[in-house]
């Protein structure tokens, strides 16, 4: 099964873009795209959502390939949701 990095690379190549041009459209650095493609780093949910919008693909088309990847992203999502909850509580307290 392909890793998320391999899927990002495949999408980039399909669109005939360098890492730098792909990165610019997504709002990250070329080094970040390189790290994703070589599985040295995982893109955040925010980056995945941007890829989805810019390249008109579904996040479901870029599946997590193992429990560790999914767990990391679930932790990130939980932290983001907790931060949002705290912010909203401060605003409406």
Q: Where are the domains positioned within the chain?
A: 4-66
Which of these ranges, 11-20, 26-35, 40-49, 65-74, has the smallest mean pLDDT?
A: 65-74
**Distance (Å, whole) CA 21 – CA 26:** 9
Q: Are 45 and 76 in contact (CB under 8 A)?
A: yes
pLDDT of residue 78: 83
pLDDT of residue 37: 94
**Distance (Å, whole) CA 14 – CA 61:** 14
Report the percent of the chain where pLDDT is more than 90: 46
Report the percent of the chain where pLDDT is more than 70: 85
59-64: long-range contacts at Cβ-Cβ below 8 A with a sequence spacing of 24 or more? 61/7, 62/4, 62/7, 62/8, 62/11, 63/4, 63/7, 64/4
Pick the CATH number of 4-66 from 1.10.260.40, 3.40.50.1820, 1.10.1040.10, 2.60.40.10: 1.10.260.40
pTM of the model: 0.65
Residue 93 predicted with pLDDT over 90 = no
Q: Are 12 and 62 in contact (CB under 8 A)?
A: no
pLDDT band at 19 (very low <50, low <70, confident <90, very high): very high
- The pLDDT tens digits for 21-51 are 999 999 999 999 999 999 899 898 889 889 9
**Distance (Å, whole) CA 58 – CA 49:** 8
């Amino acid at each position: 099964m392909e890793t998320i990095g391999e899927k990002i690379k495949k999408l980039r190549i399909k669109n005939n873009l360098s890492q730098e041009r792909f990165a610019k459209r997504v709002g990250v650095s070329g080094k970040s795209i390189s790290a994703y493609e070589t599985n040295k780093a995982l893109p955040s949910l925010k980056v995945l959502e941007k890829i989805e919008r810019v390249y008109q693909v579904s996040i479901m088309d870029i599946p997590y390939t193992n429990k560790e990847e999914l767990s990391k992203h679930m932790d990130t999502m939980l932290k983001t949701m907790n931060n949002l909850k705290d912010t909203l509580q401060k605003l409406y307290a």
